[in-house]
Amino acid sequence: MRNLTLLTDLYQLTMGYGFYRQNKHEEEVVFDLFFRKNSLITYSIAAGLEQAMEYLLNWRFDDEDIEYLRSLHLFSEDFLEYLRNMKFTGDVYAVKEGTPVFPAEPILTVKAPLIQAQFAETALLNIINHQTLIATKSSKICRATGGKGLVMEFGLRRAQGPDAGINGARAAVIGGCSSTSNVLTGKQFDVPVAGTMAHSWVMDYDSEYEAFKAYAEAYPDNCMLLVDTYDTLRSGVPNAIRVFKELKAKGHKPKGIRLDSGDLAYLSKKARKMMDEAGFPEALICVSGDLDERSINSLIQQGAKIDMWGVGTKLITSEDLPALGGVYKLSAVIGKDGSVTPKIKLSDNTAKITNPSFKNLYRLYDRENGMAIADLITLREETVDDTKPLTIFHPVETWKRHEVENFRAEELLQTIVKGGKLVYQFPTLKEVAAYSKGELAKFWEEYLRLDMPQLYKVDLSDKLHTLKIGMIDGIREASKKEKE
């Protein structure tokens, strides 16, 4: 296992040293990881938790790390020795991977000594921001197909480096992709791998027919032919049909063709007609080539005859939104007696005012149809009584109120790490993907649609809202007195 302990920003270490010098480093605190509202993301699919915990629980400042930090001439020897022995000893609470999550709600909470909780910030954001971003993009793309065909992740060659390619493919599977072209991801996470041929295979032979025939000889029962190297309809599809007939005569069942360029709607409809008339209605049509949720949606609206979608660049890079923008903020200090001192960050931008204190997160479901109604952020010690009606309200526009009846409340934040020990059993990637698909199905289409989605309700409990408003008023009043 690589030692990624120093995968952090320098200021995490300089602050850590400052805390150490002030004897505040062992003070227990609470940090929340969440993302803010974004015009391109109304929901996200939480991902990256397993890799984040792998990092957190395997800190080891080895001799080379200590020597490098010593060379910076920023830290005392006793602090370096403290780092050498530092392990994560705190608690982590998080939503399960694959859970649909929304702006402002805590998707991961760290309760730990200050120096540990602060040091964890950069890597946790790096890992969870990236995988959540790609899982969300994958979810959008897969939903755009309307269930018409499987989506394969083809993005490795365009990913921003090996780690982004490997974990991006993992996240894409969580978001709904059926397989990946990335063999290492397939091996590491036991998910299906998929792929056929490149244009170079066809170009290497003297004729397209010879290229197809040679491939069919190698894979007679898995023969998917790339038909757009020269002329899709005059050459590619006819030569594929010729080879398919030869395979059929030998008792084999051709798999289909792949289109990688051109007018995919027109070409797929023409190719479908040609293959049907030739006696191969079961042959699949796979397409690839800079696809995303909007181009897929357009192709379906045009009546394209497509059975499989290979999506690469725009998925693995989340081209329209290259960063999730998740943040990690201090929300409370825990006293030695267990008392909670809430903390809040203010801003002229309402969206950047944080929710204070040690919190919990509940999802409310309609008992009759099982669909999600709203999420409720509460203080940690609160419970939601789902045996009686509950009035929820918009956290800013408080006159917007809604009474929820006949509902079931589910606690979303699971205990992942307790006292520095992993207490959660991570499911397989296939299980995470299945869970995510099931959870997403509990949301009405209006919350998930591509264009002008309805905003899902994420509200604060009465107690948390009262605390937040009181802290805002108190800080502003104190600021006024300072100016006087």
Rounded CA separation 91/418 (Å):
4
The ranges assigned to domains in the chain are: 10-134+322-480, 142-316
Question: What sections of 355-426 are H helices per DSSP?
Answer: none
Q: Please list, residue by residue across 53-92, b when 16 or more beta carbons sit within 10 angstroms of its beta carbon and e when fewer do.
A: bebbeebebeeebbeebeeeeebeeebbebbeebebebbb
Question: In the prediction, which pLDDT does 2 show?
Answer: 85
Q: Which residue has the tokens 């007195």?
A: 481
**pLDDT (tens digit, 9 = 90+) per residue, 277-326?**
999 999 999 999 999 999 999 999 999 999 999 999 999 999 999 999 89
Question: In the prediction, which pLDDT does 351 show?
Answer: 82
Question: In the prediction, which pLDDT does 483 show?
Answer: 66
- 10-134+322-480: CATH topology is nicotinate phosphoribosyltransferase (3.20.140)
**What mean pLDDT do residues 216-240 have?**
97
Q: Please list, residue by residue across 324-351, b when 16 or more beta carbons sit within 10 angstroms of its beta carbon and e when fewer do.
A: bebbbbbbbbbeeeeebebbbeeeeeee
How many C-beta neighbours within 10 Å does residue 400 have? 12
Residue 478's pLDDT band, with cuts at 50, 70 and 90, is confident
Question: In the prediction, which pLDDT does 476 show?
Answer: 87
Task: State what percent of residues in the chain have pLDDT above 70.
Answer: 99
**What mean pLDDT do residues 265-286 have?**
98
Question: In the prediction, which pLDDT does 142 show?
Answer: 97
Q: Please, are residues 105 and 362 in contact by the beta-carbon 8 Å criterion?
A: no
Domain 10-134+322-480 and domain 142-316, same fold? Reply is no
Cα of 363 vs its chain's centroid, Å: 19
**pLDDT (tens digit, 9 = 90+) per residue, 406-432?**
999 999 999 999 999 999 999 999 999
**What mean pLDDT do residues 341-352 have?**
90
Prediction pTM value: 0.96
**pLDDT (tens digit, 9 = 90+) per residue, 12-48?**
999 999 999 999 999 999 999 999 877 677 899 999 9
**What mean pLDDT do residues 240-246 have?**
98
Please determine, for residue 368, whether its predicted confidence score (pLDDT) is greater than 80. yes
What are the structure tokens assigned to 364, written together? 């409310």
Rounded CA separation 431/411 (Å):
20
Query: Quick one: CATH architecture of 142-316?
Result: Alpha-Beta Barrel (3.20)
Please determine, for residue 201, whether its predicted confidence score (pLDDT) is greater than 90. yes
Rounded CA separation 43/55 (Å):
26
Coil vs helix vs strand at 415: strand
Question: What sections of 278-373 are H helices per DSSP?
Answer: 293-301, 313-316
Question: In the prediction, which pLDDT does 484 show?
Answer: 61
What are the structure tokens assigned to 369, written together? 């149809």
